[in-house]
């Protein structure tokens, strides 16, 4: 495959801005070109026959889904229209909406957007009948190529209840591969006095070899990375040990344990109360990762009985079957109770203190949910009030993720605090947010649904 046709990690770009720090870090490592597009959207550049084309991550994802739709139709010999799509549990609102949009663009009716570890828990619960007759607390550790998700669920009597979720949407197997790639680039430079960091074709070949080496090191103590003519006529050969791999990624491996501790803390659950720890995602096979998890849970044996590559898709299929009423007797009693991963609120001010994060829906609140908060004007004779919307855990909006803003105009002049506004946050079953605000005295109301492109919010003026 030519480098100009090769791209990966669309999940890390979807719903993000080009200026995001994480995107800027990745751009330097990817063996393909990403540029800034309209509205600060990252655009993936593809060159074919001398013609350059640009695609958003949503468009790339929709192409993948369209291909999957084509395969499903061919296999089933019947039309396929409905779908349940999974996302990392720690995806924010913009990333969820963008993923749903990709499904719609691919021609699918997206019935539900499901958190990946929750889908995996469904697969585990049904496969093992875990907690079907007695409650069990299950932690799902989902470490894939680009993201890490940790969810703690209670499964019992056919009910899958998420107690807490945490994670990192920018930590996964690709980061471990990047460390090997960086190491190999430096080794090649020392061997041949040649820097291949600006050579997309060489980087692509090196990345493929490093990815294979990472996988082999999950069951071998040492392996070789060997590439003929990596740069011009220079071959590359390197023997890498599992110990070296673990050393290169020591800080990242330790970082993977932080969401585990956060999840236990948020759920107010002791490690001894967790009955099962389920491994999901290809990178959960890494021996060092399993060792660190066992250390956290004081030597508890980890559950490896389900296929870590297929568990999420299996759970999503089960949920889709329930949604369209095709479940068998067991599935008809199946209930899923999920939570929102991030706190949602409004930016407010109090006196000289600005940029206050006023939380309306705290993180790990069960969804779907609708919550209200009454706010007032901040100063005398205020005729316009804005409602900037954020998600995140900081007490200041400056450190949280900005989602959008809307305002109520033509407020009759009055002393501060006189006018009161009923702000309503509504999260649907897909985890997608809509917000409304109503002037209690005049009845003026506006409502928005937060879309994936934060610069083109859908705003509807209502009576």
- What value does the CA radius of gyration of the chain take, rounded to a whole number of Å? 24
Q: Band the pLDDT of 31: cuts 50, 70, 90.
A: confident
The residue with tokens 């061997």 is 191
My answer on whether omega of the bond before 368 falls inside 30° of 0, hence cis, is yes
pTM for this entry = 0.85
Contacts of residue 205, Cβ cutoff 8 Å, sequence gap at least 6:
227, 230
Q: Band the pLDDT of 446: cuts 50, 70, 90.
A: confident
Residue 135: predicted pLDDT = 85
Q: How far apart are CA 171 and CA 138, in angstroms?
A: 22
Q: Are 374 and 421 in contact (CB under 8 A)?
A: yes
Q: Band the pLDDT of 90: cuts 50, 70, 90.
A: confident
- Over 60: is that where the pLDDT of 174 sits? yes
- Contacts by 408-413 with C-beta closer than 8 Å and gap 24+? 408/384, 408/437, 408/439, 408/444, 408/446, 409/383, 409/384, 410/383, 410/444, 411/377, 411/382, 411/383, 411/384, 411/385, 411/439, 411/442, 412/383, 412/441, 412/442, 413/380, 413/381, 413/382, 413/383
Q: How far apart are CA 35 and CA 452, in angstroms?
A: 18
Q: What is the mean pLDDT of residues 184-189?
A: 95
Question: What are the structural domains of the chain?
Answer: 1-61 (3.30.30.30), 125-170+253-308+331-338 (3.30.420.40), 173-247 (3.90.640.10), 342-449 (2.60.34.10)
Contacts of residue 204, Cβ cutoff 8 Å, sequence gap at least 6:
3, 6, 31
Q: How far apart are CA 458 and CA 453, in angstroms?
A: 10
Q: Are 262 and 166 in contact (CB under 8 A)?
A: yes
Q: What is the mean pLDDT of residues 347-365?
A: 90
The residue with tokens 């501790």 is 261
Q: What is the mean pLDDT of residues 429-435?
A: 87
Residue 20: predicted pLDDT = 86
Residue 245: predicted pLDDT = 98
Q: What is the mean pLDDT of residues 90-118?
A: 91
- Could you give the angle at which helices 173-192 and 200-216 cross, rounded to 10 degrees? 120
Question: Which of the pair, 175 or 26, is modelled with greater confidence?
Answer: 175
Q: Band the pLDDT of 29: cuts 50, 70, 90.
A: confident
Quick: pLDDT tens for 380-411. 898 999 999 999 999 999 999 888 888 888 88
Residue 458: predicted pLDDT = 36
Q: Are 140 and 153 in contact (CB under 8 A)?
A: yes
Q: Band the pLDDT of 210: cuts 50, 70, 90.
A: very high
Q: What is the mean pLDDT of the chain?
A: 88
Residue 456: predicted pLDDT = 33
- Over 70: is that where the pLDDT of 52 sits? yes
Give the distance from CA 123 to its chain's centroid.
Answer: 20
Residue 201: predicted pLDDT = 86
Quick: pLDDT tens for 298-352. 999 999 888 999 999 999 998 888 888 776 655 656 788 899 999 999 999 887 7
Quick: pLDDT tens for 55-70. 999 999 999 999 999 9
312 phi-psi bin (left φ>0, alpha ψ -120 to 50, beta other): alpha
Q: How far apart are CA 451 and CA 65, in angstroms?
A: 20
- Over 50: is that where the pLDDT of 422 sits? yes
Quick: pLDDT tens for 263-300. 999 999 999 999 999 999 999 999 999 999 999 999 99
CA angle 266, 271, 272 (to 5 degrees): 135
Residue 169: predicted pLDDT = 86
Report which of 62, 281, 58 is spatially closest to residue 168, judged by C-alpha positions. 281
């Amino acid at each position: 495959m030519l480098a100009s046709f090769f791209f990966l990690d669309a999940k890390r770009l979807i719903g993000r801005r080009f200026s995001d720090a994480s995107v800027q870090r990745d751009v330097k490592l990817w063996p393909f070109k990403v540029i800034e597009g309209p509205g600060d959207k990252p655009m993936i550049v593809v060159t074919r026959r001398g013609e350059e084309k640009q695609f958003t991550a949503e468009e790339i994802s929709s192409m993948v889904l369209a291909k999957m739709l084509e395969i499903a139709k061919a296999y089933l010999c019947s039309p396929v229209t409905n779908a349940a799509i999974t996302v990392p549990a720690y995806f924010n609102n913009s990333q969820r909406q963008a993923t749903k949009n990709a499904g719609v663009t691919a021609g699918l009716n997206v019935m539900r957007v499901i958190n990946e570890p929750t889908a995996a828990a469904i697969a585990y619960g049904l496969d093992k009948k875990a907690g079907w007759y007695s409650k069990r607390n299950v932690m799902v550790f989902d470490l894939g190529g680009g993201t890490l998700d940790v969810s703690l669920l209670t499964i019992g009597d056919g009910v899958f209840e998420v107690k807490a979720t945490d994670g990192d949407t920018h930590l996964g197997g690709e980061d471990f591969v990047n460390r090997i790639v960086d190491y190999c680039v430096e080794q090649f430079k020392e061997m041949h006095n040649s820097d291949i960091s600006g050579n997309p074709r060489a980087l692509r070949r090196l990345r493929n070899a490093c990815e294979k080496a990472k996988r082999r090191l999950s069951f071998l103590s040492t392996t070789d990375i060997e590439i003929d003519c990596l740069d011009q006529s220079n071959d590359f050969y390197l023997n890498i040990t599992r110990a070296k791999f673990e050393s290169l990624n020591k800080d990242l491996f330790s970082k993977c344990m932080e969401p585990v501790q956060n999840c236990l803390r948020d759920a107010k659950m002791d490690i001894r109360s967790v009955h099962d720890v389920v491994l999901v995602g290809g990178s959960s096979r890494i021996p060092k990762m399993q060792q660190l998890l066992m250390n956290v849970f004081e030597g508890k044996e980890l559950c490896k009985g389900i296929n870590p590559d297929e568990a999420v898709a299996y759970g999503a299929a089960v949920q889709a079957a329930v949604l369209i009423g095709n479940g068998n007797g067991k599935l008809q009693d199946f209930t899923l109770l999920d939570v929102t991963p991030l706190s949602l609120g409004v930016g407010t001010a109090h006196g000289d203190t600005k940029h206050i994060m006023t939380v309306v829906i705290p993180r790990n609140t069960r969804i779907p949910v609708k919550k209200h908060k009454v706010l007032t004007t901040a100063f005398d004779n205020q005729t316009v009030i804005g409602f900037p919307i954020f998600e995140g855990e900081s007490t200041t909006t400056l450190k949280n993720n900005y989602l959008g803003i809307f305002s109520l105009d033509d407020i009759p002049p009055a002393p501060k605090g006189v006018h009161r506004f009923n702000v309503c946050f509504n999260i649907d079953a897909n985890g997608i947010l809509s917000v409304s605000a109503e002037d209690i005295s005049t009845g003026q109301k506006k409502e928005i649904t937060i879309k994936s492109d934060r610069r083109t919010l859908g705003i509807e003026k209502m009576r």
